Amino acid sequence: MASEPLASESSVSDDASPPERAAVLPKVATGIDGFDAITFGGLPKGRPSLVCGAAGCGKTLFATTFLVNGATRFDEPGVFMSFEERAEDLVANVASLGYDLDGLVAQGKLAIDHVRVERSEIEETGEYDLEGLFIRLGFAVDSIGAKRVVLDTIETLFAGFSDETVLRAELRRLFGWIKDRGLTAIITGERGDGQLTRQGMEEYVSDCVVLLDNRVEDQITTRRLRVVKYRGSAHGTNEYPFLIDAEGISVLPVTSADLDYRIAEGFISTGIPGLDAMLDPGGFHRGTSILISGEAGTGKTMITASMIDAACARAERCMAFVFEESGDQITRNARSIGLDLARHVESGLLRFEAARPSLYGLEMHLARMHRDIDRFDPALVVIDPLSALRGPPAELQATMVRMIDMLKSRGITAVFTSLREDGEIDQGSAIGVSSLMDAWIKLLNVEANGERARTLYVIKARGMRHSNQLREFTMSSEGIALVDAYIGPAGVLTGTARVVQEAAEAAAALRRAQESRRRQREAVRRRQSLERQIDELRANLEAVEEEEAVLLSEDEMREAVLASERRTLATRRGGTK
Amino acid sequence: MSGPGPTGDGLEAGADGAVDDGHYHLRLYVAGQTAKSLAAMANLRRFCEEHLAGHYDIEVIDLMKNPQLAAGDQILAIPTLVRRLPAPLKRIIGDLSNTEKVLVGLDIRPKVDEL
Would you say residue B49 lies in a domain?
A: yes
Quick count: other Cβ atoms within 10 Å of Cβ A203?
14
Q: Cβ contact (<8 Å) for A130 and B89?
A: no
State phi, psi for A20 to the nearest 5 degrees.
Answer: -65, -35
Q: Please tell me whether residues A316 and A354 are part of one structural domain.
A: yes
Q: Which residues of A touch B77 (CB under 8 A)?
A: 122, 128-133, 161
Distance from CA of B36 to the nearest CA of A (A): 7
Picking from A453, A484, A515, the residue at the C-terminal end of a domain is A484
d(CA B14, CA B30): 27
Would you say residue B5 lies in a domain?
A: no
User: In angstroms, how far is CA A378 from the centroid of its own chain?
Assistant: 10
Q: Please tell me whether residues A226 and A289 are part of one structural domain.
A: no
Distance from CA of B8 to the nearest CA of A (A): 22
Q: Is B71 on the interface with A (CB under 8 A)?
A: yes
Picking from A456, A484, A512, the residue at the C-terminal end of a domain is A484
Helices (H), ranges, A46-148:
59-73, 87-95, 101-106, 131-144
Q: Cβ contact (<8 Å) for A125 and B96?
A: yes
Instruction: Specify the DSSP class assigned to residue A50.
Output: E
Distance from CA of B69 to the nearest CA of A (A): 9
Distance from CA of B81 to the nearest CA of A (A): 9
Give the list of residues 6+ apart from residue A312 with CB closer than 8 angstroms, or none: A318, A341, A344, A347, A349, A350
Query: Which of A79, A122, A131 is most worth mutating to test chain B (most B CB atoms within 10 A of its CB)?
Result: A131
**3-state secondary structure at position A111:** strand
Q: Cβ contact (<8 Å) for A125 and B94?
A: yes
Would you say residue A334 lies in a domain?
A: yes
d(CA A101, CA A72): 11
Sign of the C-alpha dihedral, residues B65, B67, B73, B75?
positive
* E strand or H helix at A463: none
Residue B31, pLDDT > 80, answer: yes
Q: Please tell me whether residues A192 and A333 are part of one structural domain.
A: no
Closest in A115, A127, A135 to B31, CB measured: A135
Q: Please tell me whether residues A183 and A147 are part of one structural domain.
A: yes
Would you say residue B82 lies in a domain?
A: yes
Would you say residue A562 lies in a domain?
A: yes
- How many domains does the structure of chain B reveal? 1
Q: Which residues of A touch B31 (CB under 8 A)?
A: 131-132, 135
Q: What is the pLDDT of residue A432?
A: 65
Q: Is B31 on the interface with A (CB under 8 A)?
A: yes
Would you say residue A262 lies in a domain?
A: no
Picking from A203, A226, A251, the residue at the C-terminal end of a domain is A251
Q: Please tell me whether residues A222 and A177 are part of one structural domain.
A: yes
Q: What is the pLDDT of residue A573?
A: 81
Longest Cα–Cα distance of chain B, Å, equals 42
Q: Domain span at residue A544?
A: 497-577
Residue B2, pLDDT > 80, answer: no
Longest Cα–Cα distance of chain A, Å, equals 208
Would you say residue A260 lies in a domain?
A: no
On whether the CB atoms of residues A373 and A381 are closer than 8 A, the answer is yes
Say what the ipTM of the complex is. Answer: 0.76
Q: Cβ contact (<8 Å) for A127 and B95?
A: yes
- How many domains does the structure of chain A reveal? 3
Q: Cβ contact (<8 Å) for A122 and B79?
A: no
CATH number of the CATH domain containing A352: 3.40.50.300
Residues of A with CB under 8 A from a CB of B: 113, 115-117, 121-133, 135-136, 138-139, 143, 157, 160-161
The b/e string for A135-152 (b: 16+ C-beta within 10 A; e otherwise) is bbbbbbbeebebbbbbbb
Give the list of residues 6+ apart from residue B79 with CB closer than 8 angstroms, or none: A128, B28, B29, B30, B31, B36, B37, B40, B41, B93, B94, B95, B96
Q: Please tell me whether residues A477 and A561 are part of one structural domain.
A: no
pLDDT, average across residues B22-27: 83
Q: Cβ contact (<8 Å) for A157 and B102?
A: no
Q: Which residues of B touch A151 (CB under 8 A)?
A: none
With a pLDDT cut of 90, the percent of chain B lying above it is: 0
State phi, psi for A264 to the nearest 5 degrees.
Answer: -80, 145
Q: Is B55 on the interface with A (CB under 8 A)?
A: no
Q: Please tell me whether residues A431 and A454 are part of one structural domain.
A: yes
Q: What count of Cα atoms within 13 Å lies in the side-chain half-sphere of residue A305? A: 25
Would you say residue A489 lies in a domain?
A: no
Find out whether the peptide bond into B4 is cis, omega within 30 degrees of 0: no
Q: Which residues of B touch A131 (CB under 8 A)?
A: 31, 63, 77-78
User: Which residue of chain B is at minimal alpha-carbon distance from A170?
Assistant: B77
Q: Please tell me whether residues A309 and A343 are part of one structural domain.
A: yes
Mean pLDDT, consecutive 10-residue stretches, chain A (577 aa), reads 40 43 74 83 89 86 90 91 88 86 90 85 83 89 91 84 86 90 90 77 81 79 84 80 78 56 76 87 87 85 90 91 88 90 90 80 76 86 82 73 81 86 51 76 81 84 83 85 74 74 88 93 94 94 93 91 89 69
Instruction: Specify the DSSP class assigned to residue A282.
Output: S
Give the closest residue to A187 by CA, choosing from A67, A59, A369, A293. A59
Would you say residue A256 lies in a domain?
A: no
d(CA A292, CA A480): 15
Would you say residue B16 lies in a domain?
A: no
Q: Report which residue type is found at A366.
A: L
Q: Please tell me whether residues A356 and A239 are part of one structural domain.
A: no
Q: Report which residue type is found at B52.
A: L
Three-class SS of A374-408: HHHCCCEEEEECHHHCCCCHHHHHHHHHHHHHHHH
Q: Cβ contact (<8 Å) for B94 and A161?
A: no
Would you say residue B73 lies in a domain?
A: yes
Would you say residue B10 lies in a domain?
A: no
Distance from CA of B20 to the nearest CA of A (A): 19
CATH number of the CATH domain containing B53: 3.40.30.10
Would you say residue B32 lies in a domain?
A: yes
Q: Cβ contact (<8 Å) for A124 and B93?
A: yes
Q: Please tell me whether residues A75 and A212 are part of one structural domain.
A: yes
Would you say residue B29 lies in a domain?
A: yes
Q: Is B26 on the interface with A (CB under 8 A)?
A: no
**3-state secondary structure at position B80:** strand
Hey, which residues does A152 pair with through a beta bridge?
A: A82
Closest in A122, A123, A126 to B97, CB measured: A126
d(CA B62, CA B30): 5
Would you say residue A124 lies in a domain?
A: no
Closest in B31, B71, B94 to A126, CB measured: B94
The b/e string for B2-38 (b: 16+ C-beta within 10 A; e otherwise) is eeeeeebeeebeeeeebbbeeebbbbbbbbeebebbe
Q: Please tell me whether residues A306 and A277 are part of one structural domain.
A: yes
* Alpha carbon distance, N-terminus to C-terminus of chain A: 162
Tell me how many residue pairs between chain A and chain B have CB atoms under 8 A apart. 101
Q: Domain span at residue B41?
A: 24-114
Distance from CA of A200 to the nearest CA of B (A): 21
Q: Please tell me whether residues A243 and A105 are part of one structural domain.
A: yes
